[in-house]
């Protein structure tokens, strides 16, 4: 990444003052020493003044003083404002780039741009700008001069979805690039709101038919819907294919690295329920180092529980397991099957091993087999071949794993 830096104006729509204060505002306050020209513009929408994300963010962008406007969620913790300014410099110094983000999906369907999504290090690294079909709304930036001519879409059919997807498509349709680059951040999202997403995606597809299919972080926008029953059949077939792939991966892990039950599921979306079910009083998350720059954050919160996240080695994760008290839920993600042998303290602690196509292999320490059965009860979460069957349960010193 080029060494130049360009000051940014951060624009955020907030409907929760506590989330804003503990995530985005705190990270900006801590980073101002290295990037004193950064400004944070908060659009308060607690009373529902704005009906669309585009309308609210455009309102904030009109107040910006710096040359690059960064649209960012309230539940994001920025690890380096200097890196954010370096990304902004890439945008402002390249006339061919229309929009730049932190994470997106490229034409091959690959998640690109390294970020931490809740507890998971997500996306292939993009040290230099990499072209994508579209980008995630979690963080993206546009030059202020361009926004004056091409503001975000204030479209009721988009509502609070796909506004970065639409802007990416718009820039591409104008012959400009939509790119992502690594911007270190933790997205401490508490919810997944999919209401209205299909409508938003259909709207983007109708507007940019020449660009279809458009890959997004929430699925692919295609040319035509096959109808209600056709769409249902396609989703079921896709689910079955994913289940079989995950089952094969679970079988490989079970044979080579663990004889614990394996659940098929994305731990990102069950983290808080797992903590509640296990009676945890704190959550510590560790993503195994994959050669990317390490990041860490403390003093976040999830449903009132203290929450921290850090990039570590497998041996450091094992030490954290040993040090954690019984009321701390330890979650380890980005695990390779070979890493499991380094987690030597798993044998003496309650734990659940799981995987999914999106989240990869993960381990939760402090939760039990019964917790897992409660959290992931359906057949979809049981690998083909009974790898999550009570008969395969190992017992070590009387502790179920």
Closest CA to 91 of 40, 134, 142, 137: 142
Asked whether the predicted pLDDT for residue 233 surpasses 50, the reply is: yes
Strands 115-117 and 219-221: unpaired
Distance CA 218, CA 233 (A): 19
Mean pLDDT throughout 38-43?
98
Grade residue 394 by pLDDT with cuts at 50, 70 and 90: very low
Continuous segment of H or E residues that includes residue 130: strand 130-131
User: Across all residues in the chain, what is the average pLDDT?
Assistant: 92
Mean pLDDT of 316-332: 97
Q: Does residue 397 register a pLDDT over 60? A: no
pLDDT band at 228 (very low <50, low <70, confident <90, very high): low
Other Cβ atoms closer than 10 A to 185: 28
Is the backbone peptide bond immediately before 213 cis, with ω within 30 degrees of 0?
yes
Q: How confident is the model at residue 227 (pLDDT cuts 50, 70, 90)?
A: low
Q: Is 208 helix (H, G, I), strand (E, B) or coil?
A: coil
- Residues sharing a CB contact under 8 Å with residue 95, sequence separation 6 or more, in sequence order: none
How confident is the model at residue 234, as a pLDDT? 76
Q: How far is Cα 323 from Cα 302, in angstroms, rounded to an integer? A: 21
- Assess contact for 215 and 111: CB atoms under 8 A: no
Q: 1-17 in b/e burial notation, b at 16+ Cβ within 10 A? A: eeeebbbbbbbbbbeee
Domains and CATH numbers, the chain: 8-221 (3.90.550.10), 239-400 (no CATH)
Nearest-Å Rg of the Cα atoms of the chain is: 22
What percent of the chain shows pLDDT beyond 90?
A: 82
Which of 347, 188, 354 has its CA nearest to residue 262?
354
Mean pLDDT of 346-361: 93
Find the helix or strand (DSSP H, E) in which 333 lies: strand 328-335
Least confident of 15-29, 90-104, 273-287, 374-388: 374-388
Nearest to 170 by CA among 193, 195, 140: 140
Per-residue pLDDT tens over the stretch 69-83: 999 999 999 999 999
């Amino acid at each position: 990444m080029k060494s130049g830096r360009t000051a940014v104006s951060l624009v955020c729509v907030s409907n929760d003052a506590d989330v804003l204060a503990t995530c985005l505002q705190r990270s900006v306050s801590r980073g101002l020493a290295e990037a004193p020209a950064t400004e944070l513009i908060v659009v308060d929408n607690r009373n529902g003044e704005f009906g669309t994300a585009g309308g609210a963010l455009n309102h904030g962008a009109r107040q910006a003083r710096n040359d690059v406007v960064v649209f960012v969620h309230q539940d994001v913790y920025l690890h380096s404002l200097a890196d954010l300014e370096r990304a902004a410099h890439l945008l402002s110094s390249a006339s061919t780039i229309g929009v730049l983000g932190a994470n997106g999906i490229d034409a091959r369907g690959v998640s690109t741009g390294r970020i931490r999504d809740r507890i998971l290090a997500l996306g292939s690294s993009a040290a230099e700008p990499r072209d994508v079909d579209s980008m995630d709304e979690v963080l993206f930036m546009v030059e202020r001069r361009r926004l004056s001519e091409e503001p975000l879409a204030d479209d009721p059919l988009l509502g609070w979805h796909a506004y970065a997807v639409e802007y990416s498509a718009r820039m591409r349709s104008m012959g400009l690039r939509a790119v992502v680059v690594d911007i270190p951040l933790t997205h401490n999202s508490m919810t997944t709101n999919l209401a209205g997403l299909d409508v938003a995606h259909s709207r983007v597809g109708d507007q940019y038919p020449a660009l279809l299919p458009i890959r997004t972080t929430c699925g692919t926008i295609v040319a035509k819907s096959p109808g209600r029953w056709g769409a249902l059949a396609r989703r079921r077939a896709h689910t079955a294919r994913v289940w079989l792939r995950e089952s094969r991966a679970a079988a490989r892990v079970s044979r080579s690295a663990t004889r614990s039950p394996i659940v098929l599921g994305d731990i990102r979306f069950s983290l808080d329920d797992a903590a509640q079910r296990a009676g945890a009083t704190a959550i510590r998350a560790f993503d195994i180092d994959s050669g990317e720059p390490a990041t860490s954050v403390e003093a976040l919160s999830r449903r009132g529980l203290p929450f921290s996240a850090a990039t570590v080695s497998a041996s450091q994760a094992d030490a954290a397991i040993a040090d954690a008290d019984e009321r701390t839920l330890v979650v380890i993600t980005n695990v390779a099957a070979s890493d499991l042998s380094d987690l030597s303290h798993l044998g003496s602690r309650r734990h659940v091993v799981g995987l999914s196509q999106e989240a990869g292999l993960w381990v939760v320490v402090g939760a039990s087999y019964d917790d897992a059965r409660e959290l992931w009860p359906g057949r979809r979460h049981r690998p083909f071949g009974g790898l999550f069957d009570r008969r395969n349960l190992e017992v070590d010193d009387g502790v179920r794993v």
